């Protein structure tokens, strides 16, 4: 599931570009299991309640939810706060991986407050709202997404660990 967070896109005064880009990246991924389907992006305003309602509703049927937008320093950027209130566990390693990958490309990545966490068996990933940042962040989490989902679903058969031990 994909949730684009943007006041202007929600109001219809701007077209969401990062959401469709992320759909394209997931759909064309060679590393993510074909069962990971994000569908069309849902657009919500930069509002804690609206973001939380979308997250909670979609946690019921999603292995992974990716949000785009609302992770910066603006007063209206509240996606991390909304997410923090509903996740049960933080995924600091994934957060660090995503931020580090972006920091290698631009120092502006330090201005992202994106978080990653788990609610139940759903992985929730916050990404910035720009198309460029979405691509950078996707490339950081893409290689581990299948394994993370398998672990959350208690479907890990040890294959991934065995492959890593051979390297």
What mean pLDDT do residues 22-35 have? Answer: 86
Residue 65: half-sphere exposure toward Cβ, Cα within 13 Å: 29
- Do residues 59 and 93 lie in contact, with contact meaning Cβ atoms separated by under 8 Å? no
Structure confidence by residue, pLDDT tens digits, 132-152: 999 999 999 999 999 999 999
Write down the domain spans for the chain.
Answer: 2-166
Helix (H/G/I), strand (E/B), else coil: 161: helix
Question: 140 vs 99, 101, 112, 137, CA distance in Å?
Answer: 9, 6, 15, 5
Percent of residues, the chain, with pLDDT higher than 90: 79
Question: What pLDDT is stored for residue 159 in this prediction?
Answer: 66
CA neighbor of 87 nearest in space, from 61, 64, 112:
64
Q: Domain 2-166 belongs to what architecture?
A: 3-Layer(aba) Sandwich (3.40)
Structure confidence by residue, pLDDT tens digits, 87-118: 999 999 999 999 999 999 999 999 999 999 99
**Structure tokens, 10:** 């929600």
What mean pLDDT do residues 158-162 have? Answer: 63
Question: What pLDDT is stored for residue 161 in this prediction?
Answer: 60
Q: Inform me whether the pLDDT recorded for 164 exceeds 60.
A: no
Mean pLDDT for all residues in the chain: 92
Percent of residues, the chain, with pLDDT higher than 70: 89
Helix (H/G/I), strand (E/B), else coil: 123: strand
């Amino acid at each position: 599931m994909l949730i684009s967070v943007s006041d202007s896109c929600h109001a219809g005064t701007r077209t969401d570009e990062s959401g469709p880009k992320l759909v394209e990246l997931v759909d064309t991924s060679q590393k993510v299991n074909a069962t990971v389907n994000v569908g069309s992006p849902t657009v919500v305003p930069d509002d804690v309640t609206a973001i939380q309602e979308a997250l909670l509703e979609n946690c019921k049927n999603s292995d992974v939810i990716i949000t785009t937008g609302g992770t910066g320093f603006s007063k209206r950027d509240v996606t991390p706060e909304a997410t923090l209130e509903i996740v049960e566990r933080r995924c600091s390693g994934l957060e660090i991986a995503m931020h580090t990958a972006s920091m290698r490309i631009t120092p502006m990545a330090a201005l992202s407050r994106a978080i990653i966490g788990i609610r139940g068996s759903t992985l929730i990933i916050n990404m910035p709202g720009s198309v460029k940042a979405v691509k950078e962040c996707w490339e950081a989490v893409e290689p581990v997404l299948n394994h993370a989902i398998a672990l959350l679903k208690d479907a890990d058969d040890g294959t991934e660990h065995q492959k890593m031990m051979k390297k």
